[in-house]
């Protein structure tokens, strides 16, 4: 057998890894309630009709060939208008590149910017791809602490201690996946000021920017005077098209500090051809058309957040912070009679038939002894899932 590369051997993606175990049960006819993946379409959310129609129309009108590598200009213009309208930021279309989801934006950026031995500061816990892709390129992801007792807010003192001469960038995920934390402007400003002080780039993942339950999200770039900021965003979550794989990167650097990385980013973007042509045309309509679905989606998610928070807070052996954004909750396993949080998740799956994701898959340091669940399902589905978990916890902790 031909052996795989050493790089590939290190790849493990917790969110989908647990699905392998779930499928074994489902093949036996067992009904597994899935709380593992952040896909609204897997539940009772639906892509808005005018966006679906725009996709069909784009195909009918002939947008079936390759798009420009950096994306259609009209779509980039609409993204720039959104940034001006929402965040007060003025961008040129050449500051924006359309990608196949935020994950590809991240892949391209890290390939364009990291050398072996570099370090990337990532929130602990973080979306797993930041750890995986950084390590894949021979660099080191360094988690900075977030404080659970303060709603998973970043620990600025810990962040400061972890900056050194190898630090290449600082990642901010706001609202946060997996914790649902929303960082206030004061905290984000402290972080970007620290980055500017040490001359490192800020990578701001804002894919959940309009999914906020109290207050509002402030873009990182709008709070950064001196630090160069690359913003990742996309359409999967807010516009309910996760399978269409459409995201974008925005470069914000008035002094030219990002010119080299931007040039490298675009060279890699050209080598991978382009993002979906018909999808891009449909996203023009998504940005120009009705935004009414966002308010309705957030209303439903707020109700489901409140229900999940109440049930998990009342569950024996579990505690949790209340999410302020995105659609995740990240509870702590208080009475841990399991060897690891992954063992806990697999035990819940095997005996309660509820699929969660182990917290150490998001960070081996700050994610351990936790698990992530989505708050996307209808309350009736969550009720059944939490009833199963509640009975399971009582049974296990009494043994």
- Per-residue pLDDT of 238-275, as tens digits, reads 999 999 999 999 999 778 889 999 999 999 999 999 99
Residue 300 lies in a domain: yes
The domain boundary, picked from 288, 304, 331, lies at 288
59 and 136 belong to one structural domain: yes
39 and 58 belong to one structural domain: no
**Cβ-contact 380, 196 below 8 angstroms:** no
Q: Per the omega criterion (within 30 degrees of 0), is the bond before 125 cis?
A: yes
Residue 1 lies in a domain: no
24 and 158 belong to one structural domain: no
**% pLDDT > 90, the chain:** 87
256 and 128 belong to one structural domain: yes
The domain boundary, picked from 233, 264, 288, lies at 288
Name the token pair of 129: 């791809």
Mean pLDDT over residues 40-63, rounded?
96
- Number of domains within the chain: 2
The domain boundary, picked from 221, 255, 288, lies at 288
Q: 13-46 in b/e burial notation, b at 16+ Cβ within 10 A?
A: ebbeebbeebeeeeeeeeebbbbbbbbbeebebe
pLDDT at 10 over 90: no
Better-scored residue on pLDDT, 185 or 137 = 185
Distance CA 159, CA 124 (A): 10
**pLDDT (0 to 100) of residue 14:** 65
Distance CA 262, CA 94 (A): 10
Mean pLDDT over residues 2-17, rounded?
72
Mean pLDDT over residues 12-18, rounded?
72
212 and 77 belong to one structural domain: yes
40 and 63 belong to one structural domain: no
In three-state form (DSSP H/G/I as H, E/B as E, the rest C), the secondary structure along the chain is: CCCCCHHHHCCCCHHHHHHHHHHHHHCCCCCCEECCCCCHHHCCCCCCHHHHHHHHHHHHCCCCCCCCCCCCHHHHHHHHHHHHHHHCCCCCHHHEEEECHHHHHHHHHHHHHCCCCCEEEEEECCCHHHHHHHHHCCCEEEEEEEEHHHCCEECHHHHHHCCCCCEEEEEEECCCCCCCCCCCHHHHHHHHHHHHHCCCEEEEECCCCCCECCCCCCCCHHHCCCCCEEEEEECCCCCCCHHHCCEEEEEECCCCCCHHHHHHHHHHHHHCCCCCHHHHHHHHHHHHCCCHHHHHHHHHHHHHHHHHHHHHHHCCCEECCCCCECCEECCEECCCCCCCHHHHHHHHHHHHCEECEEHHHCCCCCCCCEEEEECCCCHHHHHHHHHHHHHHHHHHHCC
Q: Which residues contact 256 (CB under 8 A, 6 or more apart)?
A: none
142 and 273 belong to one structural domain: yes
**Cβ-contact 173, 183 below 8 angstroms:** no
Distance CA 109, CA 48 (A): 31
**pLDDT (0 to 100) of residue 5:** 76
Convert the pLDDT of each residue in 358-387 to its tens digit: 999 999 999 999 999 999 999 999 999 999
Cβ count near 312 (within 10 Å): 21
Residue 190 lies in a domain: yes
**pLDDT (0 to 100) of residue 107:** 94
pLDDT at 13 over 70: no
Convert the pLDDT of each residue in 155-186 to its tens digit: 999 999 999 999 999 999 999 999 999 999 99
**% pLDDT > 70, the chain:** 98
214 and 225 belong to one structural domain: yes
**pLDDT (0 to 100) of residue 21:** 82
Model confidence at 17, in pLDDT bands (50, 70, 90)?
Answer: confident
Convert the pLDDT of each residue in 209-227 to its tens digit: 999 999 999 999 999 988 8
Mean pLDDT of all residues in the chain? 94
197 and 297 belong to one structural domain: no
Mean pLDDT over residues 115-121, rounded?
95
137 and 271 belong to one structural domain: yes
CATH number of the domain at 181, please. 3.40.640.10
Name the phi and psi angles at 342, rounded to 5.
-70, -40
CATH number of the domain at 311, please. 3.90.1150.10
Residue 357 lies in a domain: yes
pLDDT at 67 over 80: yes
117 and 192 belong to one structural domain: yes
Note down the domain range covering 359. 6-46+292-397
227 and 86 belong to one structural domain: yes
Q: Which residues contact 393 (CB under 8 A, 6 or more apart)?
A: 315, 316, 317, 318
Name the token pair of 256: 């030219």
């Amino acid at each position: 057998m031909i052996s795989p590369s050493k790089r590939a051997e290190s790849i493990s993606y917790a969110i989908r890894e647990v699905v392998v175990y779930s499928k074994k049960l489902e093949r036996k006819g067992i009904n597994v309630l899935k709380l593992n993946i952040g896909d609204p379409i897997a539940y009772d959310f639906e892509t808005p009709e005018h966006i679906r129609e725009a996709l069909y129309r784009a195909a009918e009108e002939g947008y079936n060939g390759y798009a420009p590598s950096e994306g259609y200009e009209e779509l980039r213009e609409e993204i720039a208008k959104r940034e001006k309208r929402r965040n007060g930021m003025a961008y040129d279309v050449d500051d924006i590149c359309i990608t196949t989801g935020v994950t590809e934006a991240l892949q391209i950026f890290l390939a364009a910017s990291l050398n072996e031995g570099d370090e990337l500061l990532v929130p602990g816990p973080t979306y797993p791809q930041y750890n995986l892709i950084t390590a894949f390129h021979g660099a080191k992801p360094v988690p900075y602490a977030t404080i659970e007792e303060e709603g998973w807010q970043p620990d600025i003192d810990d962040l400061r201690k972890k900056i050194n001469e190898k630090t290449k960038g600082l990642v901010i995920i706001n609202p946060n996946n997996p914790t649902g934390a929303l960082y206030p402007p004061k905290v984000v400003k402290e972080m970007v000021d620290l980055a500017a002080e040490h001359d490192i780039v800020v990578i701001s993942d804002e894919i959940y920017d309009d999914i906020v339950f109290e207050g509002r999200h402030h873009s990182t770039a709008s709070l950064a005077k001196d630090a160069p900021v690359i913003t990742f965003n996309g359409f999967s979550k807010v516009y309910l098209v996760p399978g269409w794989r459409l995201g974008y990167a925005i470069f914000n650097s008035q002094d030219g500090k990002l010119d080299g990385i931007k040039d490298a980013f675009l060279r890699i973007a050209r080598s991978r051809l382009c993002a979906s042509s018909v999808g891009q045309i449909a996203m023009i309509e998504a940005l120009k058309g009705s935004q009414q679905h966002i308010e309705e989606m957030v209303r439903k998610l707020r109700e489901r957040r409140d229900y999940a928070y109440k049930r998990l807070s009342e569950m024996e052996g579990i505690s949790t912070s209340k999410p302020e954004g995105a659609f995740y909750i990240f509870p702590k396993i208080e009475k841990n009679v399991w060897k690891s949080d992954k063992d806990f998740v697999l035990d819940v799956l095997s005996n309660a038939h509820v699929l969660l994701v182990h917290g150490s898959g998001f960070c081996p340091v700050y994610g351990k002894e936790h698990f992530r669940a989505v708050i996307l399902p209808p309350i009736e589905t969550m009720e059944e899932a939490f009833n199963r978990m509640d009975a399971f916890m009582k049974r296990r902790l009494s043994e």
